[in-house]
Amino acid sequence: MSSQVRTKNPINKFTIKMRRKLLVLFLLVLIAFVGLSVQIFLITRDNGEEYKKQVLSQQEYDSTTIPFKRGNIVDSNGTILAVSNKVYNVILDTKVLMSDEANLEPTLDALRKCFSIDTNGVRTYIAEHPNSSYYVMARRVEYEKMNAFQEIAKDPENGKNIKGVWFEDEYKREYPNGSLACDVIGFTTNDNQGTYGLEEFYNDTLSGTNGREYGYLNDDSNLERTTIPAVDGYNIQTSIDANLQSIVEKYLKDFNEEYKDAYRPGNAAENVGCIIMEVHTGRVLAMANYPTYDLNDARNTDNLIGMPLVDDKGNRTGEYVTQESIAAMNDEEMYRQLDALWKNFCIANAYEPGSVSKPFTVAAAIESGAITGNEAYNCEGGLQVADWPKPIKCHQTYGDGYISVQEGIERSCNVVLMHVAFALGKNEFVNYQHLFGFGLRTNIDLAGEMRTASLVYTKDTMGTVELATNSFGQGYNSTMIQTMAAFCSLINGGYYYEPHVVDKITTADGATLENIEPRVLKQTISQSTSDTIIEFCNTVVTGENGTGKTARPAGYMIGGKTGTAETIPRRNNEYVVSFMGYAPAHDPQIAIYVVVDRPNAFIQDDAKYATRIVKKILTEALPYLNIFMTEELTDKEREELEELKIQIRMQDGASEEQLTDEEGNPIDPDEAGAEGEGSEEGTDEEGGETAEDKAQREIWKTFPLDPETGYLKDPNTGDLFDPETGGQVNAGSLLGEDDPEGEDDSEEGDEPEESGDEATE
């Protein structure tokens, strides 16, 4: 008999148990979710607004920018020229303010009292933006005003309902001396970026790095912060001497006051510039233009009145800015005019330098061996050059007769210089012109230096006529800084220094990061050639026929060279006049260059517009620089100095009555500085000139003085002559026709100041 055994199904039994357990687990999880939901509901109901504000606060102030402080700009003595002072933006948090309506009126009253804020505008904003957390009500308020508001807010009684106002740090760029050295310093835009001058060139150095402040909630739901501090910008110490700069600017302004509206409406000249530089270092001690502007109010249009109007290409229109023309300008026209004001004429404008270039021609010829410097040439008032239709004229209409190269510099004789250039040759002339830096940027550490590569001739483009006119500063263009840097090399032994304006870079706490030492780039001429050029240029001021005698300050002997250039178009009777000088005469320490662009006068071609400015500046500047007097003072000069309150300091304590030479021998004060006026080689007698010839050449001395102009006037032709030098001051174009250079060669929109012929000294 068989039997069957029945077994249980374990799988079915396991499934039933698990189902029961899962059901229990589900019920427990459900109960937990219900409890959590109830808890969240209770939190939201009882504390929701508090947590909402905390989260919003974290979102609003989670990452706050901490602004850096822009570095200071100081002069060589530490006088602050530009500084960034902390100011504050007044911020409104509408949500916090309106958390209680009782806060509104007390807060608005305090804002109106401390910051003169238009509270009606704030009310309108609050109504339109009830959930705003950031609204700038006032920008860049001073610490005193911010502190006054905070004092009111801290008051237990009056400040308990002042809510929703906080302050955002910012820095405001300020210039304590207003317009002083404005063209050198430049200014900053609202976003703290440098524009023009040092502010632009050293923008990266002066700028720092913003810091950040981060917020987060801790375990107790309190807002905590982590701060990464800002890194301030570096300071720069300049070579500019604020006192010397003030002297220069004072006399440029005086010149404008004297000649403003004299012949035509407008300023005393279209531009007036002055540079003072250390001869042996390239350090710029002063650099100024006129007109100026207040760096704290750079867009003030009052500074534009009297300036030449410029078109959309930056070229002068022949008209001058008036209050009426300002009112009619649109934004684009206004910015164009302001841009012309903000540019630094000393580095940003090119012009034909005129006769200040003559020492360069002579130096190149002597250095190359083309001449010895002892040659003499006959000037008959002009020179026929190649196939040019008419003789190229000298400003001495009746000629200078046989004169030496030295006398050619003294009298500024174009004919002598043309002969010197022909001896040199065009290839060597171009080589030396490049060596002196003409056509090249000097790389001065200022923004806006003009390119002039296309404004000088090359060996391929220069012909005989171009060589002749280039020899006396016509036909090529240069900037003031180019000419100044090159001229310093002529009188310091031949060393060409890169001009610079900044001496030192320091940290905010005064530690020196970099000393900018004088940098010699090349040697242009030898020491012996330099000594000869000094000797020749001294006679420009000391010589009987020197064209720069009116530049000499009382008690000093200086050297230099005058320049006068007719602008394009020729025969327009508009000129650029200048004087390049140095002191002391036999041991140059500083050089000065003054350029007057189209004086406001009927007769513009008179270098005395520039020499008189130089005399006034040096009269005050040389004693300040501890350069001592060496010459006897006349009673008139003494009175003038006493009126100016200039201290009289003689070299090594020498008396004014008794001067001595280098060997200690007494010398006649009237002959002081006369050394080097030139040998008698090549004089009229040796050249075979008769007494009748000389009388005819100097016939201008017999002309009567024209009281209207102050010049000698030829009764037959009406021509005017300088009573000191005999140079014709209304000679017109030296070439007799349009010059051979033809069209202007501006490079890529860098429009130079219109340039022209050497006409007279």
Domain assignment of residue 751, yes or no: no
Where do the H-state alpha helices sit in 492-607? 527-542
What CATH number has the domain bearing residue 702? 3.40.710.10
Give yes or no for a contact between 169 and 175, defined as CB atoms under 8 angstroms apart. no
Domain assignment of residue 12, yes or no: no
With cut-offs at 50, 70 and 90, classify the pLDDT of residue 621. Answer: very high
Count of domains in the chain? 3
Give yes or no for a contact between 576 and 351, defined as CB atoms under 8 angstroms apart. yes
Lowest mean pLDDT among 202-206, 465-469, 673-677: 673-677
Same domain, 401 and 456: yes
Domain assignment of residue 185, yes or no: yes
Domain assignment of residue 758, yes or no: no
Same domain, 350 and 338: no
In which domain, by residue range, is 164 found?
64-238
Domain assignment of residue 471, yes or no: yes
pTM (2 d.p.): 0.82
Same domain, 389 and 444: yes
* Chain centre to alpha carbon of residue 449: 9
- Could you give the CA distance from residue 64 to residue 288 in angstroms, rounded to a whole number? 42
Domain assignment of residue 218, yes or no: yes
Domain assignment of residue 735, yes or no: no
Same domain, 351 and 339: no
Same domain, 315 and 194: no
Q: Enumerate residues 6+ apart whose C-beta is below 8 A from 161.
A: 100, 102, 103, 106, 107
Same domain, 311 and 433: no
pLDDT digits (tens, 9 = 90+) for 693-746: 667 677 767 788 777 777 877 777 777 877 777 777 766 566 554 444 433 333
What is residue 447's DSSP assignment?
B
pLDDT digits (tens, 9 = 90+) for 2-50: 444 454 555 555 577 777 778 878 888 888 888 888 877 777 676 665 6
Asked if the model's pLDDT at residue 247 lies above 80, the reply is yes
Is the dihedral angle over the CA atoms 549, 550, 554, 559 positive or is it negative?
Answer: negative
Of 217, 238, 259, the residue at which a domain comes to its end is 238
Same domain, 193 and 305: no
Domain assignment of residue 169, yes or no: yes
pLDDT digits (tens, 9 = 90+) for 68-116: 999 999 999 999 999 999 999 999 988 888 888 888 888 999 999 999 9
- Could you give the CA distance from residue 539 to residue 553 in angstroms, rounded to a whole number? 15
Of 189, 223, 238, the residue at which a domain comes to its end is 238
What CATH number has the domain bearing residue 127? 3.90.1310.10
Q: Which has the closest alpha carbon to 489: 445, 448, 520?
A: 520
Same domain, 421 and 523: yes
Half-sphere exposure of 666 (CA within 13 A, CB side): 5
- DSSP per-residue codes, 339-402: HHHHS-HHHH--B--GGGGHHHHHHHHHHHTS--S--EEEESSEE--TT-SSPEEPSSTT--EE
% of the chain residues with pLDDT over 90: 55
With cut-offs at 50, 70 and 90, classify the pLDDT of residue 572. Answer: confident
569 prior amide bond cis, ω within 30: yes
Same domain, 474 and 566: yes
Same domain, 369 and 332: no
Same domain, 431 and 308: no
Give yes or no for a contact between 249 and 241, defined as CB atoms under 8 angstroms apart. no
Burial of 724 (0-12, 13-18, 19+ CB in 10 A): middle
Is the dihedral angle over the CA atoms 41, 42, 43, 47 positive or is it negative?
Answer: positive
Same domain, 230 and 131: yes
